[in-house]
A and B are shown apart, each in its own frame.
Chain A
Amino acid sequence: MSWRNAVLSFLLAAAAATAMAGDQGPRGLQPPKDKPHRPVGIKAVAPRPGGGFKKEDVGNYLHTFNLPRNQGPSQQLGVVSLEFMSVSTLRTRIPADTTGFDGGEQVGLALLEGPLAFRSPQGGEPFTASKGYAVFDADTGNLLIVGTLEQ
């Protein structure tokens, strides 16, 4: 192989390696930048005529339908309290994300007791607790957020 061919081969190999390295670097994807939409939740408690709902309405809903993705028995769920408040106040009461909500919106916070058992990823044990909460849209009665509380 002549010096000329050797140099040419080296340059071609270097160019190919550079091109391959360029192809194999990470690529970028832009996450959304706009403000997320306000969650509407899922149909849950039916508001009473004239609007609003009460603690027993939440209890009836839970006993009939259970909480989403809860393995605990619905009949053993109890509603300790139902309190209406702004989302700003809710943020001081429970450790749950409220992305998409404005601070002035009204929600109903129901504190719950009873065996709660929520699914975990494959291979894990259910996340169990005896206290929890459910957050409802104060106007529609839709269920927005559910969580467990420290014992």
Chain B
Amino acid sequence: MKFLKRPVLALGLVLAGWLLQGGTAAAYTCWSPHCYGIVRWQEQPEYFGAYTDITLGRITCSGCDGFVTNEVWLVQRPSAECPQQCWVEAGYTTDGGHNGPYFFWDEVPPGGQYVQHNLGPADPVGSVDHFMIVKDGRVSPATFLVFIYNDTFSTLYGGLSATRTATAMVADHIDMGQELFGSRGITTSATAFTRNIRAVVPLGPEYVFWYWPQTTAGFVMQDMPPFAWWDTLPPVPFGSPEGGRFMTWTP
């Protein structure tokens, strides 16, 4: 796993890595562990929610033996109630056994088991879909709400992740980007993540996702593939583009 902070260097390595592989479909060995091209933010004591706009890129599985995702994760590191991490994630994926790209969200709540929710076909390539995970402070212990939707709400999926203990998940980092599993057949186009923002408080009775844009580059980690880099670094607070423009790619 490579840790890269500087976007220019990261992009240079992306292109160099791809060219070294002949500029063709990338070879990969992503069984255990899986491969990732992600950015991680872990500066805050708690992340109350995560949101990103993904401009859906092409993700294909041509005789592949695994799967690929573009998504966002809200994660609590291992603890007494989360021995293998707790998390809520939302994104879109394709794999070798099922129909083309589809939306999903998965969870492991505190004291709970793994659950995956396979929602339905993803919107067409080029669509901008919104992925929101937010802690709901209107109930105790707090739950997490998941939304996947587009501007017209022709796509609108929801979900609720509830703790199985007396305490709610306390997320200590946000991951965002691409996950790759398998060894052959998967390619994706360069995919943009924009409006990268984080909730600063749990959802309250006013039902507003109070947020602050990501203002740091976080830690970029890439297994090449997936490649991952900042096309545009997160600007100063509320500058444009809000939360920067992050890219993933498996050529």
Contacts and interface: CB of A to CB of B under 8 A. Distances in A.
A96 B31 CA distance: 28
B175 A34 contact: no
Interface in B107-126: 107-108, 112-121
Interface of B: 1, 31-34, 36, 38, 40, 51, 67, 73, 75, 78, 84-85, 87, 89, 93, 95-99, 102, 104, 106-108, 112-121, 132, 134, 145, 147, 149, 153, 155-162, 164, 175, 179, 181, 197, 200-201, 203, 207-212, 221, 237-238
Given A65-B96, A68-B118, A119-B181, A32 B36 contact: no
Interface of A is mostly: loop
Contact of B117 (A34, A43, A145): A145
Interface string A92-131: 0001110110000000000000000011111011110100
A64 interface: yes
10 contacts: A26-B201, A28-B211, A29-B132, A31-B134, A37-B156, A37-B157, A40-B121, A96-B115, A99-B159, A121-B175
A127 B116 contact: no
Contact of A147 (B113, B157, B211): B113
Interface string A128-140: 0100000000000
A147 B203 CA distance: 27
Interface of B is mostly: strand
Nearest to A118: B114
Interface of A: 23-24, 26-34, 36-37, 39-44, 64-66, 68-69, 71, 95-97, 99-100, 118-122, 124-127, 129, 143-150
B118 A30 contact: no
A59 B211 CA distance: 46
Contact of A120 (B67, B84, B95, B98): B84
Nearest to B67: A69
Contact of A99 (B104, B112, B149, B160): B160
A97 B163 CA distance: 11
Given A97-B162, A121-B73, A30 B210 contact: no
Contact of A129 (B107, B113, B120): B113
Closest 5 CB pairs of A and B: A65-B97, A36-B158, A40-B120, A147-B115, A28-B208
B197 A29 contact: yes
Given A31-B203, A39-B117, A99-B157, 12 more contacts: A23-B238, A26-B200, A28-B211, A41-B120, A44-B98, A71-B181, A97-B162, A118-B114, A122-B179, A127-B113, A145-B117, A148-B114
